[in-house]
Structure 1
Amino acid sequence: MRKILKLISVFAVVIFASAFTNTITNNQGYDVGDVIEDFKLKNIDGSMVSLSDYKDAKGFIITFTCNTCPYAIAYEDRIIALDKKYAPKGYPVIAINPNNPNAKPGDSYEEMQQRAKEKGFTFPYLVDEGQKIYPKFGATKTPHNYVVEKTPKGMVVKYIGAIDDSSRNPDAVSKTYLEDAVDALLVGKEVELKKTKAIGCSIKV
């Protein structure tokens, strides 16, 4: 009887540990190779935007960014350049502001509209109302970037991380991680460097 109770105790610990591990894994968000869910978020022009709206897209450059983070600001021109370069090739930029405007008033919807106008954003700038989307991706920084490719099974994550290796100084860039990923996909190759560390400000909740 003592052996049976011991076995039951061990089994219970294993079950608990397994459940805990699964919870942690699920909370980490999408990984490379995962199929993402589509979303519908409000753009700065008031329209609702989904990935499914882009019928001719081969994939997307999804960037979680904001108005107020110095790192995000430093990348704005580079994000605009990415959209101008890759949108015509089938990989448009989709920018999402994940910050809670109550915690960061400078990231309010109205401020997003103003910032996009000042910078001449060429891409949608969406608001993650209720902060429901960024946790699914596992984004933790602004900016935090994802390259996804349209495949028969859905939108598959191919790259996660930083745009390049110089977060504050565009003149010091020597490695263009995100561009390398999209360039590989455009010629049907595997992305070599699939993950890098996103450098930026923490998402404000």
Structure 2
Amino acid sequence: MTKTQKASIIKRKFLLHYGQAKTELKYSNLYELLVAVMLSAQCTDKRVNLITPALFANFPTISHLACADIQEVKLLIKSCSFFNNKANHLIAMAKQVMENFNGEIPHTQNELKSLSGVGQKTANVVLIEYFGENFMAVDTHVFRVSHRLGLTRAKTTQKTEEDLVKLFKDHLHALHQGFVLFGRYVCKAVNPNCQDCFVQEFCTTTKSFKPQ
């Protein structure tokens, strides 16, 4: 079986199990989603969901965040990893949206990436979740699952993303969400639930992979 044939079967199985999957981050609009995704870098969705209610109560819109006091933002997100840097990025991002995009969060990858603290993964996650765009975002879960299934041998998240896009081509938004949830609850880094795995026939190892 070729890698392309294997990828086709894996794709079909993931779309069957996770075709309607959505992020576990809680949000009610594009502004809240972008902030939540920025906070989620190297932090769990569960933790972010504990932080954001108070943050959004104090800063309900992008314009409020643009005028925020840095110390107040730090206090509200202090239980999040790298909260000092994230607070600076959040306020800088909000100011850029107000100044460069007339207060409207942009809808394209390149424009999102122009914002402080927004890299390609964050931009792609926002576009995947909010707009259903055909992008792949590679976090630790996607990286681990794709390597365990032998879909890529890439050392970085960027190259892994390129390999997965080339293999799968479409339905990337659903596959991203599926790989995240599968990696979070089944194909875990430690003690994976192999008995619940629906693609076990393609698993090459239970080694935990981390990007460089």
Same fold (TM over 0.5): no
Between Structure 1 and Structure 2, whose CA radius of gyration is higher?
Answer: 1
With the length of structure 1 as denominator, give the TM-score of the two structures. Answer: 0.27
Which one has a larger percent helix, Structure 1 or Structure 2?
Answer: 2
Which one has a larger percent strand, Structure 1 or Structure 2?
Answer: 1
With the length of structure 2 as denominator, give the TM-score of the two structures. Answer: 0.26
